[in-house]
Structure 1
Amino acid sequence: MTFHLPWACVIIGCIFVSLGRASNTPDVYPPLWKESPGQFSDYKVEDGKYIINIWHYLERLGTYKILLNKTAKYFEKFAPENEQNILWGLPVHHGWQYRTGRLADPTQRTNCGHESGDYLCISVDSWWADLNYYLSAMPFLAAVDSGIMGISSDNITFLPPSKDQTNFCYNVSSCYSSFPETMKKWNKFYQSYSSSFEELLKYLWAAHVSSLKVAHKKFGNRLKFYSKQEADFERSWALFVDYLAPPLFPTTLIRTAEFQKGLPTRMLVDGDKAPLVSDFTSFQNTVLLGLNFLHKVHKYTGKRQRNFYVFVNSALENKKLYNGKFGNYYVIQFSRYSLPFLIEGGNFIYNFYSLKQN
């Protein structure tokens, strides 16, 4: 499909029908979730400090589990079993990175993260792992500093990676020294638990975007380690996250898990061309195609599109949609044309349009 600047292209749309009891299914949780640490005492202690190897998948995952456990009481008013905790988006996405091999050494110079080697190792050369560091270390340390974790700010230290140590921070004081504005945004989120669900999403996304903004400046050089297809996907994904923030996408357990069903199940390689990747589902092919379009729009115009927006509505059970189906829906629309998708009973039905702008 040829891309032309005068054309307004619909990027992605998703319709989420009722998820029923999906929150009880184990596949929504990150890999090895049960095996990861769930309390501070599960980590090594030296000189009265908890030492966390955040370059080990289980230990990084454990920081998320502790964070979710400590914040559960603030979200119980929204739903039982901590399902509506909007911090779920962080570990669920990290689990997808691990499952698809994106935390492994992309240079192939070490066996870090590879199934045939140290499969729980997180490589400092991984673009995904480095960006995720800023969405694991800083949220966790800011929570410690806010007081909700129940321990002193001086009692936590992260181990540094094998190289590029100056790109990261390792305790509360060093993170505040290096990234004061981002840490303040995370702290603001933790101090706002009496707010409404929408207000909490606003504070969360402000901190999330701030973390990624800092990380993007540091790790662009990692893209050279990947195939062109994977590097383009990384750029597209980073751009797309910016579009999820303004409409306050709800990063709850089920919403995030369902959303990620549209993401690639492995690293992209030479020859992968959406929507014709044979081992991807129609959903995954279409999402990948949509992300590619979004990246091209940004590349050719040199700016983010103000008329690209996300429309979220969870109260349309009785409104007829384009394909005659009913249900909750989540639509992402570029310009004034919408693209309906439907997920129902595990099947994905979609239409894709490229319409000339009047």
Structure 2
Amino acid sequence: MTFHLPWACVIIGCIFVSLGRASNTPDVYPPLWKESPGQFSDYKVEDGKYIINIWHYLERLGTYKILLNKTAKYFEKFAPENEQNILWGLPVHHGWQYRTGRLADPTQRTNCGHESGDYLCISVDSWWADVNYYLSAMPFLAAVDSGIMGISSDNITFLPPSKDQTNFCYNVSSCYSSFPETMKKWNKFYQQVKSYSSSFEDLLKYLWAAHMSSLKVAHKKFGNRLKFYSKQEADFERSWALFVDYLAPPLFPTTLIRTAEFQKGLPTRMLVDGDKAPLVSDFTSFQNTVLLGLNFLHKVHKYTGKLSFIVWKTLMKFKVARKLFLEILDLILHCFN
């Protein structure tokens, strides 16, 4: 352990060095952010209910936009312009998924999500899209249930996908029935958001608890989707999922700028056979470093039998350790920016 844990920390540090150096793009918002719905009245209404096609990129993105708008006033005490709203991490990452083609049908049986077809379609066969559903539908519906959105819990319905409908929930009641613990954690987060006595770290603690609860359920359900991808992309998906596990204990702040900077080191397209970091020719050296680091972290985690992660979680229980870790990341990002 005296060898593997330090190496895991080094790799994580290298990842953020790369992310910091690659963060010069001024546009931090998700693709088509301005075009997405920004209020409930932008959606269809049937029988007094707002009908949202969450399998359409703009409509799913719009749920995030409304969520950001409705929670903005609670984050004013941390910074102006809603920049410190820690819910930004959800739509910004979803935008990266769309930009890189990861929401498209990986089986190639349909034109869903592909540039040559229905490019705004979100495929139910996409691992990324299905996992993201649990980080879009449940946070949104739990916010409605918490009262933070200002509408009744009965007024929202999501349209089902073309198949595998039982893997998802479509309104507040069905989500509570299918995933009660996860919905409770998201609701608890919003109750903390509404409490003006909550500190920034308090909110991060509740957000990450809810976030990881959503991912835990999603990863169990959609592991079978990995067969639709190249070995390189499937390995990246596994490594990425693990890396998010490591981000949760230090309570990484998922604010707008930090999340946007974070993603500059991620692959700009789907990985295919022949892609091998650090030698992917159309990736920057920083993106290659990130990919290599994620692969290495996954190997360390597997080799130590999760012991490195247990030690990491234990270490991050101490506030001074979390603070030091985030200060080091800030210093790295500042130096390379």
TM range (shorter): 0.7 to 0.9
Q: CA deviation at 1:9?
A: 7.8
Q: Summarize the Cα distance change of 1:100–1:315 in structure 2 as closer, same or farther, 3 Å threshold.
A: closer
Partner-residue secondary structure (3-state), 2:169: coil
1:112 touches 1:122 (CA, 8 Å); kept in 2? yes
1:74 touches 1:193 (CA, 8 Å); kept in 2? yes
Q: CA deviation at 1:295?
A: 1.1
Paired positions, count: 323
In the alignment, which residue of structure 2 is the partner of 1:184?
Answer: 184
Q: CA deviation at 1:112?
A: 0.1
Q: TM-score, normalised by structure 2?
A: 0.85
Q: Summarize the Cα distance change of 1:127–1:3 in structure 2 as closer, same or farther, 3 Å threshold.
A: farther
Q: Summarize the Cα distance change of 1:319–1:86 in structure 2 as closer, same or farther, 3 Å threshold.
A: closer
In the alignment, which residue of structure 2 is the partner of 1:204?
Answer: 207
Q: CA deviation at 1:194?
A: 3.4
In the alignment, which residue of structure 2 is the partner of 1:240?
Answer: 243
Task: Name the CA distance, whole Å, in 2 between partners of 1:319 and 1:179.
Answer: 25
2:243 touches 2:294 (CA, 8 Å); kept in 1? yes
Deviation string 1:254-305 (CA, Å, 9 cap, x unpaired) is 00000000100000000000011111111110010000011112223332xx
1:16 touches 1:343 (CA, 8 Å); kept in 2? no
2:143 touches 2:186 (CA, 8 Å); kept in 1? yes
In the alignment, which residue of structure 2 is the partner of 1:88?
Answer: 88
Q: CA deviation at 1:315?
A: 26
Task: Name the CA distance, whole Å, in 2 between partners of 1:131 and 1:274.
Answer: 25
Deviation string 1:193-251 (CA, Å, 9 cap, x unpaired) is 53000000000000000000000000000000000000000000001100000000000
Q: Summarize the Cα distance change of 1:5–1:258 in structure 2 as closer, same or farther, 3 Å threshold.
A: closer
1:12 touches 1:333 (CA, 8 Å); kept in 2? no
In the alignment, which residue of structure 2 is the partner of 1:266?
Answer: 269
Q: Summarize the Cα distance change of 1:85–1:278 in structure 2 as closer, same or farther, 3 Å threshold.
A: same
Q: Summarize the Cα distance change of 1:6–1:185 in structure 2 as closer, same or farther, 3 Å threshold.
A: closer
Q: CA deviation at 1:25?
A: 7.5
* RMSD of aligned alpha carbons: 6.0
Percent pairwise identity:
95
Q: Summarize the Cα distance change of 1:237–1:19 in structure 2 as closer, same or farther, 3 Å threshold.
A: closer
Partner-residue secondary structure (3-state), 1:50: strand
Out of 162-171 and 184-193, give the one that drifted further.
184-193
Q: Summarize the Cα distance change of 1:48–1:22 in structure 2 as closer, same or farther, 3 Å threshold.
A: farther
Q: TM-score, normalised by structure 1?
A: 0.80
Task: Name the CA distance, whole Å, in 2 between partners of 1:300 and 1:48.
Answer: 55
2:301 touches 2:309 (CA, 8 Å); kept in 1? no
Task: Name the CA distance, whole Å, in 2 between partners of 1:6 and 1:97.
Answer: 31
Q: CA deviation at 1:317?
A: 29
Task: Name the CA distance, whole Å, in 2 between partners of 1:32 and 1:174.
Answer: 30
Q: Summarize the Cα distance change of 1:345–1:27 in structure 2 as closer, same or farther, 3 Å threshold.
A: farther
Work out whether 1:296 is the aligned partner of 2:299.
yes
Q: Summarize the Cα distance change of 1:127–1:173 in structure 2 as closer, same or farther, 3 Å threshold.
A: same
**Which ranges in structure 1 are unaligned for 5 or more consecutive residues?**
304-313, 322-331, 335-341, 350-357
Q: CA deviation at 1:3?
A: 13
Q: Summarize the Cα distance change of 1:192–1:237 in structure 2 as closer, same or farther, 3 Å threshold.
A: farther
Task: Name the CA distance, whole Å, in 2 between partners of 1:252 and 1:348.
Answer: 17
Q: Summarize the Cα distance change of 1:302–1:193 in structure 2 as closer, same or farther, 3 Å threshold.
A: farther
Q: CA deviation at 1:170?
A: 0.2
Deviation string 1:58-98 (CA, Å, 9 cap, x unpaired) is 00000000000000000011111000000000000000000
1:23 touches 1:254 (CA, 8 Å); kept in 2? no
Deviation string 1:310-352 (CA, Å, 9 cap, x unpaired) is xxxx99999999xxxxxxxxxx999xxxxxxx99999999xxx
Report 1:314-353 matches (<5 A): none
Q: Summarize the Cα distance change of 1:114–1:3 in structure 2 as closer, same or farther, 3 Å threshold.
A: farther
Task: Name the CA distance, whole Å, in 2 between partners of 1:297 and 1:29.
Answer: 34
2:72 touches 2:82 (CA, 8 Å); kept in 1? yes
2:92 touches 2:256 (CA, 8 Å); kept in 1? yes
Structure with greater strand share of residues: 1
Q: Summarize the Cα distance change of 1:269–1:299 in structure 2 as closer, same or farther, 3 Å threshold.
A: same
Q: Summarize the Cα distance change of 1:348–1:101 in structure 2 as closer, same or farther, 3 Å threshold.
A: farther
In the alignment, which residue of structure 1 is the partner of 2:76?
Answer: 76
1:38 touches 1:65 (CA, 8 Å); kept in 2? yes
In the alignment, which residue of structure 2 is the partner of 1:329?
Answer: none
Q: CA deviation at 1:123?
A: 0.1
Structure with greater helix share of residues: 2
Partner-residue secondary structure (3-state), 2:122: coil
2:22 touches 2:286 (CA, 8 Å); kept in 1? no
